[in-house]
């Protein structure tokens, strides 16, 4: 559902030049290598991010762990200087934070993050005409 939401959002964002440029900067890296290697790197990155933000950090926070782990994730992502990545981090961080609370573990957040990331990797280049 999250991937479908972002694909639909991508169709809207593609019509707004200054936002479209932000997404195009991110997906331009998808043209830089072989798809199997990019999928593997994307999955490993998703696993690592969830192990830290919804694993170690979430467990260390005693009050409002969803809020604080999501905020930390957004700040870390905002360091890229890309507003669209930071916006995505808000939504993704909230969803996987809620999954972490509901499941009590990190497997659901890891699966969601990886499916979402790989979905964006393979669909956004078509939406933004870089495929």
Q: 35-50 vs 107-127: helix axis angle to the nearest 10? A: 140
pLDDT digits (tens, 9 = 90+) for 19-71: 888 888 778 777 777 889 999 999 999 999 999 999 999 999 999 999 999 99
The whole model's pTM is what? 0.87
- The two tokens of residue 120 are 């964006």
Domain total for the chain?
1
Question: What is the extent of the structural domain holding 47?
Answer: 2-127
What pLDDT, in 10s, does the model give residues 90-121? 999 999 999 999 999 999 999 999 999 999 88
Task: Please say whether the beta carbons of 112 and 2 come within 8 A.
Answer: yes
């Amino acid at each position: 559902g999250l991937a479908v939401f972002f694909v639909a959002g991508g169709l809207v964002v593609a019509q707004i030049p200054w936002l479209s440029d932000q997404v195009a900067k991110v997906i331009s890296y998808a043209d830089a290598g072989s798809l199997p290697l990019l999928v593997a790197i994307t999955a490993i990155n998703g696993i690592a991010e969830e192990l830290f933000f919804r694993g170690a950090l979430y467990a260390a926070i005693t009050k409002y762990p969803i809020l604080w782990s999501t905020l930390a994730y957004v700040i870390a992502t905002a360091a890229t200087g890309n507003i669209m990545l930071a916006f995505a981090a808000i939504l993704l961080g909230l969803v996987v934070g809620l999954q972490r609370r509901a499941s009590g573990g990190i497997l659901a957040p890891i699966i969601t993050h990886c499916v979402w990331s790989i979905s964006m990797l393979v669909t956004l280049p078509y939406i933004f005409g870089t495929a």
